[in-house]
Structure 1
Amino acid sequence: MRSTPSFKLAAADNSSGTWTPSGGVQFLTVPLELAGQRIDNFLLARLKGVPRSRIYRILRKGEVRVNKGRVKAEYKLKTGDVVRVPPLRVADTTPAPLAGASLRQLVKASILYDDNGLLVINKPVGLAVHGGSGIRLGLIEVLRQIYPQSPFIELVHRLDRDTSGAIMVARKRAVLQHVQADLRSGRVDKSYLALAAGKWPRSRRVVEACLRKNTLKSGERMVSVHPDGKPSVSRFQVLERFRATTLLAVEPMTGRTHQIRVHAQFVGCPLAGDDKYTPDDVNRGFRSLGLKRLFLHSASVGCQLPDGEKVVVAAPLPDELGALLKRLREEMG
């Protein structure tokens, strides 16, 4: 009888490692370090070159089995689980590109905190947090190249590509699970700085609006306020008023896509430099002042680690945003 090829993921396996098709069924045994990870994320991290839609299809059809049984995409793996992966056609086996020396140095220089299984990075604007949708190299891929011997590196939460500032990355699964649980229960502090067009209403300190994601024919993802959307809450505090703009501190109480940007638009004060939700004529005015990006910055993050230690990390405001604020203050006289 023909034997079925199999292999075991070693305890030191990096979740960024690529899966190599064997032409037949493969069996992957889950090590301790990956216990608790959802099966869909487990497969997405390993089946490089396999379309995301294909991975979810084989899960729905039961072609992926865990311990010989069908599981849903949200199933959380346990140590020793045996995952059956069917033969799959790989669309693109080209390895992910290596980060250039300048990008690696930029990310290294942006590390604000690295201790107790937690990384906090001052993410540069324009850098996606992960590859996908035409982006082959993001922050998480660069970090895995910087820390090639690290057994575990995963995003705790996300930032838009156009947003700069503090973002948390876990280097231990226990830290990831603990901080994400606190995120879901609202026990993680996240504070942003945002510059809004217009005069923010003094009485509008909390915005509650359901948000729904939409995909345009062009493939662009947009978010809008809609009663069928997911509940979302943001707290806004006016820090400084200028002639036609308002500097705000924002605390998102939920973590919806584009939440702060759409909530600001909903109030009638869209964010400066936002090419998705701010009118072109308004953005032209900001460009004339030298702003070439979205004015949204993750100013600080705070969380409690599994051992009870409280970590609060602040991310300095990028020079280009500080320069704009200086110019606005000078105009005020």
Structure 2
Amino acid sequence: MTYKMTSVSIIYINEDMINQRIDNFLQKKFKNVPKSMIYRIIRIGKIRINKKRIKPQYKLKIGDRIRIPPIKVIDKKEKKFFISEHQKIILHNVLYEDKDLLIINKPSGIAVHGGSGIKLGIIEYFRKCRPLEKTLELVHRLDRDTSGVLVLAKNRTSLISLHKQIREKKIQKKYIALVHGSWPIHLKKISEPILKTYSKNKQKKMLIHQDGKASETYFEIKKKYSCTTLMSIKPKTGRTHQIRIHTLYAGYPILFDKIYGKNSLDKNIKNKIKINRLLLHASSINFTHPKNGKKIYITAPLDIDFKNYLINLI
């Protein structure tokens, strides 16, 4: 077995990383490094956050700057990266690009990043296919089964600027969803707190709970069908699975939602038309460009499966 020393690295904490303990964060990042070594370099002060020593239980905050010293890791020879037809679809789904931003129309069924049994996600595909892009980071996330607009930043300045816009609720996102039942005309807003929970097998699941985080979603009916409703949805907050949780809470779950949906309702529809994707799509995003200050408005068309499903509805 051979080893190699990593180089000094600097990590800036974004919204996807916050609230993790520093020891847990480092264990996930350096899976081939013994826990004892992780704790040792924290204890002796080699890990610095914002130029200060920290303890293993320190929880990461937005904007934290972590300095990681050289670490001895197992040297695994990287396998050659081959782009499959599925991955080619991702690479050809670019909606907008300049020297600061890369915005794509993410297909349903593909995670935004690797982890939890997933080797490669959107961000890994682009990093491998564009090695000259030294800094390429996710600005926000989409659920694996949700399609639509996904923004990537090409530099740290743009990432920080867009995260600031997210915190200040200056980025507006719209979604399209097909829900079961006839959505009530009067139901235009749901404000119910969402709490993150974990099952015995450590699977994450969100639920409505008074101890959860404040969450607000706005709803508008686009079209009513015989037993479903096409909705335009604007989340004011950005909690995990927020739209899926709020539609379920209202009693009108999104079609083919394997976690928060109603399997009994889905089965009746699946017998008519063969489709097996969550019918939730991030249709547009509106924000201020991090460098030139111009207003950016990006729309993402529905994929062929979602379109065909709507065409066949009555």
| TM-score bracket for the superposition, by shorter chain length | 0.7 to 0.9
Give 1:9's aligned residue.
none
Give 2:160's aligned residue.
177
Q: Does 1:154 align with 2:154?
A: no
Give 1:284's aligned residue.
267
Give 2:307's aligned residue.
322
Query: Could you say if the C-alpha distance between residues 240 and 155 of structure 1 is closer, same or farther in structure 2, counting changes exceeding 3 Å?
Result: same
Q: Which SS does the other structure have where 1:182 is aligned?
A: helix
| Aligned partner of 2:201 among 194, 213, 218 | 218
Q: Does 1:300 align with 2:284?
A: yes
Offset at residue 69 of structure 1 (A): 2.5
- Structure 1 letter corresponding to 2:8: L
Give 1:111's aligned residue.
94
Offset at residue 219 of structure 1 (A): 3.4
Query: Could you say if the C-alpha distance between residues 297 and 93 of structure 1 is closer, same or farther in structure 2, counting changes exceeding 3 Å?
Result: same
Give 1:14's aligned residue.
none
**Contact 2:27-2:33 within 8 A present in 1 as well:** no
Query: Could you say if the C-alpha distance between residues 208 and 53 of structure 1 is closer, same or farther in structure 2, counting changes exceeding 3 Å?
Result: farther
Offset at residue 121 of structure 1 (A): 0.7
**Contact 1:97-1:136 within 8 A present in 2 as well:** no
- Structure 2 letter corresponding to 1:74: L
Query: 1: distance between equivalents of 2:107 and 2:159?
Result: 22
Query: Could you say if the C-alpha distance between residues 96 and 254 of structure 1 is closer, same or farther in structure 2, counting changes exceeding 3 Å?
Result: farther
Query: Could you say if the C-alpha distance between residues 232 and 124 of structure 1 is closer, same or farther in structure 2, counting changes exceeding 3 Å?
Result: same
Offset at residue 108 of structure 1 (A): 1.6
Counterparts of 1:1-333 in structure 2, within 5 Å, are 21-22=4-5, 28=8, 30=10, 47-50=29-32, 64-66=46-48, 67=51, 69-70=53-54, 72-74=58-60, 76=63, 83-84=68-69, 93=76, 95=78, 98-288=81-271, 289-306=273-290, 307-328=292-313, 331=314
Superposed CA offset, 1:113-166 (max 9, x none):
111411111001111000000101000000101210111100000000000111
**Contact 2:13-2:60 within 8 A present in 1 as well:** no
**Contact 1:64-1:85 within 8 A present in 2 as well:** no
Q: Which SS does the other structure have where 2:81 is aligned?
A: coil
**Contact 2:109-2:144 within 8 A present in 1 as well:** yes
Query: Could you say if the C-alpha distance between residues 210 and 114 of structure 1 is closer, same or farther in structure 2, counting changes exceeding 3 Å?
Result: same
Give percent identity, aligned residues only. 30
Output the TM-score relative to the length of structure 1.
Answer: 0.79
Q: Which SS does the other structure have where 2:8 is aligned?
A: strand
Offset at residue 29 of structure 1 (A): 5.7
Offset at residue 184 of structure 1 (A): 1.2
> What residue ranges of structure 1 are gaps of 5+ in the alignment?
1-19
Output the TM-score relative to the length of structure 2.
Answer: 0.84
How many residues are treated as equivalent by the alignment?
299
> What residue ranges of structure 2 are gaps of 5+ in the alignment?
none
Query: 1: distance between equivalents of 2:37 and 2:104?
Result: 30
**Contact 2:135-2:155 within 8 A present in 1 as well:** yes
Query: 2: distance between equivalents of 1:325 and 1:55?
Result: 55
**Contact 2:149-2:284 within 8 A present in 1 as well:** yes
Superposed CA offset, 1:221-260 (max 9, x none):
2111001111111111110011111100011111111100
Query: Could you say if the C-alpha distance between residues 64 and 236 of structure 1 is closer, same or farther in structure 2, counting changes exceeding 3 Å?
Result: farther
Offset at residue 48 of structure 1 (A): 4.4
**Contact 1:64-1:70 within 8 A present in 2 as well:** no
Q: Which SS does the other structure have where 1:121 is aligned?
A: strand
* More divergent stretch after superposition (318-327 vs 214-223): 214-223
Q: Which SS does the other structure have where 1:165 is aligned?
A: strand
* More divergent stretch after superposition (213-222 vs 277-286): 213-222
**Contact 1:166-1:299 within 8 A present in 2 as well:** yes
Query: Could you say if the C-alpha distance between residues 68 and 294 of structure 1 is closer, same or farther in structure 2, counting changes exceeding 3 Å?
Result: closer
Query: 1: distance between equivalents of 2:37 and 2:87?
Result: 30
